[in-house]
Structure 1
């Protein structure tokens, strides 16, 4: 039976980064994500409850405005300017451990009876900063698996890449799976970094959540450690470290332009 992300699910994600240009390098690891319908989450109807202690935790202050407020109210506020605030929403994210929480990127999904209409990509860096990329078509038509949406890169993520250039986003919201592809195109117009997070969805219930929490209790520490390990490898290969620039005042941007170049 195919699992709907909007019913609550666990996503066994295979994560891949491929860098080209100054150095050719690939980076792979696996992580277990949770897909959480936000109305049910806020009503306490899911096995994973917000702000409750446990091996796996979801803290409201780790997302959105970082003020501990309603996650559902936050995403509706983000969708309202483009007329999508009445969509059904779900959050695909990496739950935190009791001692540590870090999400390189979380995806807020919005759909209606026609299909996926928008994805808010909440990107975080290891300096404690975030940026929101709201991906949708200008006319809010359904986002299909083959659609590519592009927008300017406005947020410093890696100390080995400049902040300039643009991103190309692509999404697959199932049913039965989740996929997100984000490519970085440099100022020269060439694809310099390709990333993907793809995996099948399975049922989220009390039993599967308990097993996931026991087997993957320290996922955030693992992800943070892998990021720093890969950074050390790039540095050892002579890739120049770029000092972090001051974060831009603009903390949210729209990603609406179709990408016509085959990337």
Structure 2
């Protein structure tokens, strides 16, 4: 497979795998850092991979895992969200970076969609966020030429951060590498930063098996790690912020 450059969307060789390192740095009210290794898929939402039967438990993509969970396909769910915001891709290509469902389980703290119009130009990016309370929310972004966009935070993610401030997201389309950064900003401070760094791999059966053995049941590991570190922060005395009224997957947008 020939990988595309870091400055333009992948055009061939999909799906692709990205073994990556995810790092979080919390600077306030107490400094705390963590990092873990996992792997993500880059797929075309109109041409989702269907693996050979023996490998299918290691990677499935289901519409119920995204947006409202009620659409017939991931593409239909995304188009419904975009339609609510007055965006029509006219059938343009959409690339999705996400965890697949593994052994019946999936948890995607962040799913990204690079949305192109019919002329192959990048129209927008959608950042779909899931928290550990089973809630979902999607942000519509219009990045600049460097792949950076800002958006007000209006979804409860961490029990240690209130719903205020805004995100600065640097989300250039993946190419040979994936390099993403999200910063939570408040007046005079940057209390939280998350980064994702990884290198592209061809999505072959042997490559997937190696990654699955290296990171067994990776989506469970990600979900468990979030809870583990949350308990550690609580035991270190970080105050818990009250959660707003419950946002169900069916009403998320």
Interval containing the TM-score (normalised by the shorter chain): 0.7 to 0.9
Is the alpha carbon distance of 1:98 and 1:114 closer, same or farther for their aligned partners in structure 2, counting shifts above 3 Å? closer
Residue 157 (1) aligns with residue 162 (2): no
Contact 1:18 1:25 in 2 (8 A): yes
Root-mean-square deviation (Å) = 2.4
| In 1: Cα distance, 2:238 partner to 2:68 partner | 34
| In 1: Cα distance, 2:37 partner to 2:228 partner | 15
Residue 99 of structure 1 deviates from its aligned partner by: 4.0
Give 3-state SS (helix, strand or coil) of 1:82's partner: coil
Residue number among 130, 133, 149 corresponding to 1:127 in the alignment: 133
Counterpart in the other structure of 1:11 = 18
Contact 2:21 2:197 in 1 (8 A): yes
Is the alpha carbon distance of 1:88 and 1:225 closer, same or farther for their aligned partners in structure 2, counting shifts above 3 Å? same
5 Å-filtered alignment, 1:42-61, equals 46-48=49-51, 53-61=56-64
Residue 214 of structure 1 deviates from its aligned partner by: 4.0
Residue 147 of structure 1 deviates from its aligned partner by: 4.1
Counterpart in the other structure of 1:175 = 175
Residue number among 18, 21, 34 corresponding to 1:27 in the alignment: 34
| In 2: Cα distance, 1:107 partner to 1:208 partner | 22
Contact 2:135 2:252 in 1 (8 A): no
Unaligned runs of 5+ in 1: 138-142, 253-263
Residue 95 (1) aligns with residue 94 (2): no
5 Å-filtered alignment, 1:60-71, equals 60-67=63-70, 69-71=72-74
| In 1: Cα distance, 2:124 partner to 2:170 partner | 11
Give 3-state SS (helix, strand or coil) of 2:95's partner: strand
| CA-to-aligned-CA distance 1:199-238 (integer Å, 9 cap, x gap) | 1111113332343334434101111111111112211221
| In 2: Cα distance, 1:53 partner to 1:215 partner | 17
| In 1: Cα distance, 2:169 partner to 2:141 partner | 8
| In 2: Cα distance, 1:114 partner to 1:177 partner | 21
How many aligned residue pairs are there? 239
| In 1: Cα distance, 2:58 partner to 2:46 partner | 23
Residue 216 (1) aligns with residue 215 (2): yes
Q: TM-score, normalized by length of structure 2?
A: 0.84
Unaligned runs of 5+ in 2: 5-9
| In 2: Cα distance, 1:195 partner to 1:153 partner | 15
Contact 1:55 1:217 in 2 (8 A): no
| In 1: Cα distance, 2:38 partner to 2:113 partner | 18
Residue 8 of structure 1 deviates from its aligned partner by: 1.4
| In 2: Cα distance, 1:79 partner to 1:48 partner | 29
Contact 1:47 1:206 in 2 (8 A): no
Contact 1:3 1:9 in 2 (8 A): no
Is the alpha carbon distance of 1:12 and 1:85 closer, same or farther for their aligned partners in structure 2, counting shifts above 3 Å? farther
Q: TM-score, normalized by length of structure 1?
A: 0.81
Contact 1:36 1:90 in 2 (8 A): yes
